Amino acid sequence: MALFSQERILVPVDFSDKSLRAVRESVEFAQQSSAVHVVHVLKSLEAMDPGVIWETVNDEKRKETIQKLFDESFSEEKYAGLTLSIEKGEPAAEIVDYAESHQIELIVMPSRGHTGLTRFFMGSTAERVIRFAHCPVLVLRD
């Protein structure tokens, strides 16, 4: 019996080196890329953001940019089964909702490593996911 399921794994990405490494390690662990779900959460645009005011940024353009970045980051054959889901909202809530709606059995995510006042004021997405997820959460640390 394995400690963690290899069937339905969710890896949230923000395209930091740590999150891209989490995807790569999850694919190796699962032994097939189709078992790994990748999700990126866009924060909502604010009405006063310069890109919104000048009408140079919208959700569709943001999604296109993220998809292009994903395709460039995982262009190798071993990642052929990966699919990216782009959600919009608060990251921890969207990750937990995605995991529940897709019957995810394991969430793998990196830790940002915030400590002290930064962690106190900003909180941690990983902590909120751990608290509310219905399945095990594996937090990768450096």
Q: Give pTM, 2 decimals.
A: 0.86
Beta strands 9-12; 36-42: pairing state = parallel
* Confidence at residue 115, expressed as pLDDT on a 0 to 100 scale: 54
64-100 in b/e form (b: 16+ CB < 10 A) is eebeeebeebbeeeebeebebebbeeebbebbbebbe
- What kind of fold does domain 9-140 have according to CATH? Rossmann fold (3.40.50)
Phi, psi of 38 (to 5 degrees): -115, 130
- Within the chain, which residues score under 70 in pLDDT? 1-5, 51-54, 113-123
What is the per-residue pLDDT for 7? 84
pLDDT for 32 equals 85
Q: What is the pLDDT of residue 24?
A: 94
Domain boundaries, the chain: 9-140
Quick count: other Cβ atoms within 10 Å of Cβ 121?
8
The reported pLDDT for the residue numbered 42 is 92
